[in-house]
Structure 1
Amino acid sequence: MAVEVKRKQTESMEAFMRRFSKRMMESRVLINLKKRRFYEEPKSDAIRRASAIRRKKLSEEKEYLRKIGKLPLEFQGKSGKFFRPQKKGTASRISVRSNAK
């Protein structure tokens, strides 16, 4: 499964990378790794159906809360993914000015 490619002395780095990439594609190592990484065990129809119902219910609940204005800011975002607040000590986009003189 290992692919061994050695650089020739007269070969440029670009040519070496091209040759390496070609060998990797021919050996199908990356394709097999991706198949293993994203493999999902077959699920029964009942489990898939229950999962779909749960996802739909959660998204409807989230949409309702967003419309009435009760959804916390952490859960609002363009992509719909969970928003993680910045860590302490990092610069934020909002600057706070004090009125103390």
Structure 2
Amino acid sequence: MQVSVRDNNVDQALRALKKKMQREGIFREMKLRRHFEKPSEKRARERAEAVRRHRKLLRKRLEREGF
């Protein structure tokens, strides 16, 4: 991942880097890797995330259709 520093403005480049890392999910992955996660816990977490994503998609679809 690469961010260019323009006009010696490091703060702006750092903000852009953090934004890119957030979009890529690097911070989330770092948080998950801090501790070992048992395979059963991982499956349960991923299943719960999938349910959450699906419900969110349904909510947005219903909202678009005007219900």
TM-score, normalised with respect to structure 2: 0.44
TM-score, normalised with respect to structure 1: 0.32
Structure label with greater radius of gyration: 1
**More relative contact order, 1 or 2 (CA 8 Å, 6+ apart):** 2
